[in-house]
Amino acid sequence: MTRRISRQPVTSGLLLILAAIFLAAGISRLGLGVADAIAAEPDEDVAAAEPPTIAESPADPADLFETLRAREARLARIEAELDARRATLLEAEQELTQRLDDLIAAEEQLRATLRLTESAAEDDLRQLTAVFENMKPQQAAELFSQMDTEFSAGFIARLQPETAAEILSGLEPVIAYAISAVLAGRHARTPRK
């Protein structure tokens, strides 16, 4: 007769021992890994407190817990500082947006004012041109002879050609020539296609 050997008690005991070894190895790796992670974390207070090295990592779970709590407190402080910076940046962005909106509104108001000014200036020039056209040519020629050449050339260009011809004929030839030269050269520098 063959005798059967029961393997169950030996197998259960062996598995229990292996499980305990793996558990101990895992806990030690976890402790070392957390300590490495804490040591690798950049900290603003590096000069004040050096991060723990593997040799200095806490072996006692209570020490590990305290290290984790200290890290959590440090991360909470950093998070609060980042939240404060974010709030400051948001406030600055809102202020900048408001200033930009104010600047755009002021620019639009300035454009409207410039349009009014240009329109008023054009109306004044049109009215003054009509005055020169209604004057006797000899009286207008006397006024144009006293004006700056560029200024008088601008008005001559705006006048009706018949009126301009009568005024130019009443001017001294040197002044009439200078005004004609300014008129001829006004668009000389304009690019051609």
Model-level pTM? 0.43
Taking phi over 0 as left and psi of -120 to 50 as alpha, with beta for the rest, 5 belongs to beta
Span 137-170, pLDDT tens digits:
999 999 999 999 998 999 899 999 999 999 999 9
Span 70-95, pLDDT tens digits:
999 999 999 999 999 999 999 999 99
pLDDT range class, residue 41, cuts 50, 70, 90? low
Q: What residues does each domain of the chain span?
A: 135-193
**Residue 100: partners with Cβ closer than 8 Å, 6 or more residues away:** none
CB 145 within 8 A of CB 172: yes
Span 128-145, pLDDT tens digits:
889 988 999 999 999 999
* Angle between helix 161-170 and helix 61-134 axes, rounded to 10 deg: 70
